[in-house]
């Protein structure tokens, strides 16, 4: 799902697969003069509390807070092939934040993708999803953001190359890929299902990572939730529509809910960008909302085949050599936690046998895990997660390719051999 800073750019527009809150804000009325004030202090406190919860659901803090910096003060760099974007200050500071924004200004940004002055926002801010958010929820988020401590720090201007710094070029992109409108409940579905759909498709904007992007930087509508490469984060967001990847058709709803809420379940664990989503956002959501999301995800139509991402291939002979070499490397380095038979010891040590994320066409994620290691998110329900040590310094490119090949092709797994060249490419890639 997702959600951390990823930008897929085309010759028309800069697009993010996981930036989370408006990226170009400035200016509006002070909170004490704003029209979002509730009737009583108690009502206002309740509104702010609701807004804080919804901002968590949208994972706003992830993009608008630099590690070690002040909350929502912005400044997080988003490096792209076409320049660097910087997230803005969205604290209620009058000079540099959103202190002079009204709730109407805020809703217009959320609903239409236009800034206070009417200028077009880059789709790094996922207004294509946030347009589904209700006015009431938008007003609550606005009230919360206006309640946080103002930070008098200027938002750093984007450093985009021509023509990507020309906002008027966004008009064509919007015509092709943006449809304005709040979420409309499906009367044939349950209240729980509709709540899950609203969160997944709206604030959660999960499709922005789990849907492929076309050559123009727009979502491939026929491939909604069918997976996509997150190139600048060097992770692959697996398909939710195929049981060959992360399809949830044969998952129990409880396992889906556990994964969303804690980062681990009997079916696997989350790492990389999704771990940050769980840590910053999902662990704070109510059990009712988590169950609603799981209920909706469980019903996403399943397809027989997953998309075929670009995958470097090896010859059959060399693949066989890697498989044999990988067996010994696995026994020496991996079997202690994941067991000789690949069944692991879930949820602490996830199974590798019959694990879709291991054997799906893209081998990006298992390669990154072997190279860089990592931890599931630390959550209230799982405060001390077991981690995966990095092997980048201990294993060569061929050795990493060998052990990943072994786990992708053993214990009934149906993955393919991995190229050492792909390992080399990912070894030199940024960690996030």
Q: How confident is the model at residue 81 (pLDDT cuts 50, 70, 90)?
A: low
pLDDT at 22 > cutoff 60:
no
324-353, pLDDT tens digit by residue?
999 999 999 999 999 999 999 888 888 999
- C-alpha to C-alpha distances, 214 to 12, 13, 375, 427, nearest whole angstrom: 12, 12, 31, 26
- Rounded distance, CA 11 to CA 82, Å? 9
Is the pLDDT at 422 greater than 60, yes or no? yes
Query: What values do phi and psi take at 355, rounded to 5?
Result: -105, 115
Task: Scan for tokens 């720090």, then name that residue.
Answer: 153
Q: Going by C-beta distance under 8 Å and a sequence separation of 6 or more, which residues neighbour residue 173?
A: 12, 13, 15, 123, 216, 217, 218
What confidence category does residue 296 fall into, taking pLDDT thresholds of 50, 70 and 90? Answer: very high
pLDDT tens by residue, 171-224 = 887 888 899 999 999 999 999 999 999 999 999 988 877 776 665 666 666 567
Complete edge-to-edge strand list for the sheet that includes strand 77-80: 77-80, 83-86, 159-160
The 3-state DSSP class for residue 156 equals coil
pLDDT at 3: 43
Predicted local distance difference test score (pLDDT) of residue 161: 82
Per-residue pLDDT, 86: 86
CA distance 394 to 403: 13
pLDDT of 135 over the 90 cut? yes
Report how far residue 403's alpha carbon sits from residue 415's, in angstroms, rounded to the nearest whole number.
Answer: 12
80: confidence class by pLDDT, cuts 50, 70, 90? low
3-state helix, strand, coil in the chain (%, to 5): 40, 10, 50
Q: Between 425 and 146, name the one with better pLDDT.
A: 146
pLDDT tier, 79 (very low <50, low <70, confident <90, very high otherwise): low
Mean of pLDDT over the chain: 81
Within the chain, which residue ranges are assigned CATH 1.10.760.10?
Answer: 316-427
Q: What percent of the chain has pLDDT over 70?
A: 79
Check: CB of residue 20 under 8 Å from CB of residue 238.
Answer: no
Helix (H, G, I), strand (E, B) or coil at 365: helix
How confident is the model at residue 287, as a pLDDT?
96
Q: Which superfamily does 316-427 belong to?
A: Cytochrome c-like domain (1.10.760.10)
Q: Is the pLDDT of residue 2 over 50?
A: no
How much is the pLDDT for 221? 61
Read off the pLDDT of each residue in 29-55 and give the average, rounded to a whole number. 75
The two most distant CA atoms of the chain are separated, in Å, by 74
Decide if pLDDT at 8 tops 50: no
What is the arithmetic mean of pLDDT over 259-277? 85
- For the chain, the residue count is 432
The DSSP string of 160-201 is EPTTTT-GGGHHHHHHHH---------TTS-HHHHHHHHIII
Range name among 163-167, 183-187, 368-372 with the lowest pLDDT average:
163-167
Choose among 191, 187, 196, 107: nearest CA to 145.
Answer: 107
Question: Computed from CA positions of residues 50, 55, 56, 57, in that sequence, does the dihedral angle turn out positive or negative?
Answer: positive
N-terminal to C-terminal alpha carbon distance within the chain: 16
Residue 265, strand partner residues: 268
Give per-residue pLDDT as tens, 223-263: 677 666 665 556 667 777 766 666 676 788 999 999 999 98
Q: Report whether pLDDT(155) > 80.
A: yes
Rounded to the nearest 5°, which phi and psi values hold at 59? 55, 40
């Amino acid at each position: 799902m997702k959600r951390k800073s990823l930008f897929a750019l085309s010759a028309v527009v800069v697009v993010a697969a996981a930036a989370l809150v408006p990226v170009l804000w400035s200016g509006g009325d002070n909170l004490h003069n704003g029209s979002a004030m509730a009737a009583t202090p108690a009502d206002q406190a309740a509104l702010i509390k609701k807004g804080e919860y919804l901002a968590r659901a949208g994972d706003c803090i992830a993009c608008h807070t630099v590690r070690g910096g002040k909350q929502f003060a912005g400044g997080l760099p988003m490096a792209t092939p076409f320049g660097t974007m910087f997230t803005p200050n969205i604290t209620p500071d009058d000079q540099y934040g959103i202190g002079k924004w009204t709730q109407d200004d805020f809703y217009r940004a959320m609903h239409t993708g236009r800034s206070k002055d009417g200028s077009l926002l880059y789709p790094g801010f996922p207004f294509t999803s946030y347009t589904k958010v209700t006015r009431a929820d938008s007003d609550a988020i606005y009230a919360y953001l206006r309640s946080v401590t103002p930070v008098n720090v200027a938002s750093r201007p984007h450093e985009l190359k021509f023509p990507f710094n020309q906002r008027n070029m966004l008009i064509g992109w919007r015509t092709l890929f943006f449809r304005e409108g709040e979420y409309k409940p499906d009367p044939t579905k349950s209240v729980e299902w509709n709540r899950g759909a609203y969160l997944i498709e709206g604030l959660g904007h999960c499709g922005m990572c789990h849907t492929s992007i076309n050559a123009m930087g727009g979502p491939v509508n026929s491939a909604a939730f069918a997976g996509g490469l997150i190139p600048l984060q060097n992770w692959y967001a697996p398909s939710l529509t195929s049981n060959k990847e992360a399809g949830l058709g044969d998952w129990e709803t409880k396992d889906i809910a556990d994964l969303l809420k804690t980062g681990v379940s009997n079916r696997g664990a989350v790492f990389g960008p999704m771990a940050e989503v769980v840590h910053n956002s999902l662990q704070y959501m109510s059990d009712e909302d988590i169950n609603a999301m799981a209920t909706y995800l469980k019903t996403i139509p399943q397809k027989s085949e997953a998309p075929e991402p670009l995958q470097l291939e090896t010859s059959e002979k060399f693949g066989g050599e890697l498989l044999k070499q990988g067996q010994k490397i696995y026994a020496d380095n991996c079997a202690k936690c994941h067991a000789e038979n690949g069944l692991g010891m879930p949820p602490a040590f996830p199974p590798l046998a019959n694990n879709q994320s291991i054997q799906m066409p893209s081998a990006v994620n298992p390669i990154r895990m072997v190279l860089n290691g990592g931890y599931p998110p630390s959550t209230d329900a799982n405060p001390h997660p077991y981690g995966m040590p990095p092997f980048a310094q201990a294993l060569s490119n061929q050795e990493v390719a060998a052990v990943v090949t072994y786990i992708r092709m053993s214990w009934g797994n149906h993955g393919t051999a991995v190229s050492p060249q792909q390992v080399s490419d990912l070894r030199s890639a940024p960690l996030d």
